[in-house]
Each structure stands twice: as C-alpha cells, then as structure tokens.
A = this chain, B = another copy of it.
C-alpha cells in the first residue's frame, strides 16, 4: 500500500480523500492542516495533524499531496515539505513554473526525495496533449480553450467589486472559434474571439446595478479583453443553480504533412468535468503513485508530467498494460 498524506483540507483535499479511496493500492494515513486540527472534520476517520508536526510523520507517509493554492501556499509549502516527504502539487501559475521547479528541485535533491509539480489538467493533462501534439505534428498550430466552466479567480475578482455580495463566473469557448479550429482551418484568433465570460452576480442591498456591471466589464486583465455578460440574480438562485464547480476544456493541435502540406490533421484532447477539484485530485493521486515508484527506484529531484512515463501512473504492470490497453 502507498501511504498518502494530504496537506490542506479544502475542496481539493476532500477530492484527494475520495481519489485515494478509488485507488486500491493506496491508503490515506493523515491529513495535515495549518488550522486547529480539532476544527477539521474529514469525511473518513483519518487522523488530522497540525502541519507543524509533519516531521513526526516522516517515515509514515510515502507521498504527501499538497492541496493549497498556487498564489501563496505552494511556492513556500512544496519546497519546505519536499525536505520531509516525496511530494505532489498542482501549482498552476504557468509563468512561475520555472522558478517553482528550481526551488522544489533543490529541496528535493538535497533531501533525496521526488517532487512532482504542476499536476492536474492545465497544467497537467493539457500539457501532455500539447507536448505530444507538438512532437508529432511539427508543422502546426496549438489551441487551448477553457470552459464552459467556473473560474474561481474571476469569481473572486467580481466578489471584490463594491456592492457585490456573491458571484460565479463562467468561462465559455466561442462555438464558432472552436469549430473553425476543429475543422483544421488554422484560424488566427484574438482573446476576444476565443472566449466569452458569463457572470452571475448577487448584489448587496441598495447597490447600483449599472455601476457594478460597468466595474466588472471594464476590469483590466480579468474582463476588459472579453465580451462579458452580467446577470443579476438572487442569492437563492445562485446557491441553487451555481453551487457546483464544473469545468471543461479543449487542446487542439492542427498541422499538415506531405507535399506542400497537402494533408491536414487535427489532434484534439478534451475534458468535461462535473467537479474540477475532484478530477484534479484524481490526477494528483495517479502522479502520487508515480512519485512513489520513482523514489523507490532511487530518483531524486523535481519532475513534471512531461518527465514521467505513462506506465508509472498505473497500478497495472507493464505486461498487463501491454496486453490490455496498448
């Protein structure tokens, strides 16, 4: 059995708790938290331990899955906990991956551990689709579409607008753009042409709807480059119709081969997820297995999904995989 620990018990941590149950060769041995452990109530009866006492679990956890956020938690936590454990995280700030890789690599190598970073679906499975697609169709173009799904970052940005009580934001691919890409037409697309943004907003009592709408649609970085629609709804309706965290997305590599590129080819990878955190947790669990195996073979340092052979993710042996899935 691979002994798994979780650091952080939010949506993602709860997802990992389910994912470990769904893998017969894994057992969850502890949840670590920075909160008062007595305040954390896991669904299963796994021990809850304060993060400051993690060192006491050094020999009782094979892989620690970090379930914090990329903005402030993981840049500190992943290198720190790589000194104690093999670790897996879902660091998803694309621009900062090289720096995060370097920090985790140094810590993991010094301690003789394996750290797998940026595991999930983007970065993660979508990165795999991009790398395989680029390697195969060298003469081609990449497209990534996200949605229809909830963006937590954009929902949070709306909640910071004065007069907003609560909000959910959906990122939505433009159907015509997606169809053009899938057809192999290789279109050049602006940000505005690829995605629209739909906002469901609950106003505070007495708030000025027109002012809130203007503040949202003109917000730089988040909304000003998109066609954004704002729907004002009641708190009850938000809770009833928009409580979930669904997401979806598409990676397309479109390219050409042969005489003067006469033959066109389209490679597409897409996901449709009822629960973004539960799915991300499943990917983390599979890469925890890989981290454990790599460490058992003597590997050290930081890895990403690009560095790990697919067979390491599976509980089946190489011979079983060749017979059943190849």
Contact = CB atoms under 8 A, between A and B. Distances in A.
A274 interface: yes
Contacts of A135: 286, 289, 310, 313-315
A313 B309 CA distance: 11
A43 to B, nearest CB: 8
A269 B266 contact: no
User: Which residue, A267, A275, A311, A325, has most C-beta atoms of chain B within 10 A?
Assistant: A325
A182 B59 CA distance: 43
A258 B275 contact: yes
A128 B133 CA distance: 12
Nearest to A137: B282
Interface string A31-51: 000000000000000000000
A123 to B, nearest CB: 5
Interface string A269-280: 111111100110
Contacts of A257: 15, 18-19, 22, 275, 278-279, 281-282
Interface residues of A, number: 69
Interface stretch (A78-86, A201-209, A225-233, A299-307): A299-307
A269 B266 CA distance: 11
A259 to B, nearest CB: 8
Contacts of A142: 325
Given A257-B15, A258-B275, A311-B307, A326 B97 contact: yes
A94 B131 contact: no
A150 to B, nearest CB: 13
Contacts of A98: 319, 322-323
A38 to B, nearest CB: 24
Contacts of A136: 125, 279, 282-283, 286, 313
Interface in A1-47: 15, 18-19, 22-23
Contacts of A129: 269
Given A132-B128, A271-B265, A304 B278 contact: no
A268 B15 CA distance: 22
Contact of A314 (B101, B134, B137): B134
A124 to B, nearest CB: 9
Contact of A306 (B123, B265, B309): B309
Given A142-B325, A262-B274, 18 more contacts: A18-B257, A23-B138, A97-B322, A98-B323, A101-B322, A131-B310, A131-B321, A134-B325, A135-B286, A136-B279, A136-B282, A184-B272, A257-B278, A265-B278, A266-B272, A266-B273, A267-B271, A306-B310
Interface of A: 15, 18-19, 22-23, 94, 97-98, 101, 118, 123, 125, 127-132, 134-139, 142, 182, 184, 257-259, 262-275, 278-279, 281-283, 286, 289, 304-311, 313-315, 318-319, 321-323, 325-326
20 contacts: A22-B257, A97-B323, A98-B319, A125-B132, A125-B267, A130-B325, A131-B325, A132-B313, A136-B283, A142-B325, A182-B272, A257-B281, A263-B274, A264-B274, A265-B279, A265-B282, A266-B272, A267-B271, A268-B269, A306-B322
